Amino acid sequence: MSWIIGAVIIIAIALTYVELGAMFPESGGMSKYAQYSHGPMLGFIAAWANWISLVTLVPMEAVAAVQYMSSWPWKWANWTHYFMQGGNITTPGLLVVFAFMIIFTLINFWSIKIMTHFTNLISVFKVLLPTITIIMLFASSFHPANFGHDVKTFMPYGSRAIFEAASGAGIIMSYDAFQTIINIGGELKNPRKNIIRGVLISMLVTAAIYILLQIAFIGAVDPAMIAKNSWHGINFASPFADIAILLGINWLVILLYMDAFVSPFGTGVAFVATASRALAAMTHTKHLPAWLGRLNRRYLVPRFAMIADLILAMILVSVFRNWNLLATVITCATLIAYLTGPVTTITLRKIAPDLDRPYKPGYMRWFAPLTFVLTSLAIYWTMWPTTIQVILVIVLGIPIYFYYEVKYQKRNFKSQFKHAAWLLGYLVFISIMSYCGSDGFGGQNWISYPWDFLVISIASLLFYKFAINSGLEKIDSAARKVNEKIKLEED
């Protein structure tokens, strides 16, 4: 259920960004859209939050690869067992993480073609092996009784646990790769069509694989193990490989251990591309040093941004050596950035109805506020104190914005604050709700479950309305130029 809910939320968010990406196919586009509808301050806050999540994703994938290496069962791989201790990366493991991140960066260093060829090769492996695993687990051992015979046995820890897992276990984050397609939109062939196809097809395929994997896993567990220890007692170091060992499917065990290493490796390479373009795009508004956005003349890739991201990623993983903590931080920061997607989509329809929109579904009028509410709930699920910690990191970017505004731009702060006030107010609200909410989400239980969900849903709709009414009177001129340019090129 958690995987289904995670898929629904991210697919809903992705649909709002598909409309924006098809309108404005440009590198690092997701760092610019909020500025087009609400001005530079909101654009910077959203871009900063998104960039933080992307930079954190790179070390997290490297940590995942090393964590799986440390569980290799073969004698020749005993040296890898020292990479993890108590769920944290050790110093030898950290050095391997650094090496992986350097490789991720180098693969991206020479043009988008090398990166896409590499990730295409990895993607075949990432789709084929899970599909084989699903088939083999269904064919070898499937116990329908493991799903329970009533609501209580189907959800032994209550409905709240479903939502706790959706954000806290990294499930929502697992669907996040759709933004890679949008952020390299300016480098795609026929971007307006391929952005739509790429996002929708990849999201549906990913959701199907993830959900079927969970069904196959639950059904494959020996009922005797559940009867003896309950589900809390099921604790595998490498779940699918361990299930395959118990079932005696040795060839699948080898493939699964390989995939557990290869899959995070492939994802890390893709997110180096996304993070560097997000950072480079932020320099276009003159709120970060211009050299960070400089492109290599021959390969047209933002190498300085890649190096800056690599250094920051190394610092982050040196401080946060736990995969689960990194995953929760990423989820919270990403979702805060994604709040602007449905708002920007509808605001642009309001202030610039004449823009060319290759993808313009009629349902977006009611779908956008629903997406805003779902995103708000998912932010809340990341739990106190992660919510306030991530919000503070996002707020730390605001002094950087003001410094460059005072030094170079010298624009009207009052006007900028007017367009961004809804998000600043929202961050205060969700911080308070996270602290006051139910204890299952780390709060004080002053507003218990499910009343906390109701309060957040109603307040989110009010903030959504506030956000739409806070839009610019007319669209940012840079957005109109991008939209007109791509239409002329395709014509």
Percent of the residues in the chain that have a pLDDT greater than 90, as a whole number: 18
Q: What is the pTM of this model?
A: 0.83
Average pLDDT over residues 161-165: 86
Place of tokens 């009784």: 145
Average pLDDT over residues 332-349: 90
Examine residue 159 and state whether it is found in any structural domain, yes or no.
yes
Examine residue 487 and state whether it is found in any structural domain, yes or no.
no
pLDDT tens profile 390-412: 888 888 888 888 877 777 766 67
Per-residue DSSP letter, 405:
I
Examine residue 305 and state whether it is found in any structural domain, yes or no.
yes
The answer to whether the beta carbons of residues 424 and 431 sit under 8 Å apart is no
pLDDT tens profile 104-156: 888 777 656 666 666 667 777 778 888 998 999 898 888 898 888 888 888 88
The answer to whether the beta carbons of residues 20 and 483 sit under 8 Å apart is no
d(CA 399, CA 48): 12
Whole-number pLDDT of residue 370: 96
d(CA 420, CA 294): 28
Examine residue 485 and state whether it is found in any structural domain, yes or no.
no
Under the banding of pLDDT at 50, 70 and 90, the label for residue 434 is: very high
Examine residue 488 and state whether it is found in any structural domain, yes or no.
no
Whole-number pLDDT of residue 372: 96
Examine residue 486 and state whether it is found in any structural domain, yes or no.
no
Average pLDDT over residues 246-273: 80
The answer to whether the beta carbons of residues 268 and 58 sit under 8 Å apart is yes
Backbone angles phi and psi of 85, in degrees to 5 = -150, 120
Examine residue 489 and state whether it is found in any structural domain, yes or no.
no
Whole-number pLDDT of residue 489: 62
pLDDT tens profile 178-223: 777 776 666 667 766 778 888 888 888 889 999 999 999 999 888 8
Whole-number pLDDT of residue 114: 63
For the ranges 55-64, 158-167, 459-468, the maximum mean pLDDT occurs at: 459-468
Give the domain CATH number at 173: 1.20.1740.10
Examine residue 284 and state whether it is found in any structural domain, yes or no.
yes
Total number of domains in the chain: 1
For residue 312, what are its two tokens?
């920051």
pLDDT of 305 over the 80 cut? yes
Q: What is the CA radius of gyration of the chain?
A: 23
For residue 245, what are its two tokens?
């060992």
Closest-CA residue to 60 (of 319, 298, 401):
319
- Domain ranges, residue 152: 1-478
d(CA 435, CA 389): 12
Closest-CA residue to 105 (of 92, 93, 94, 118):
118
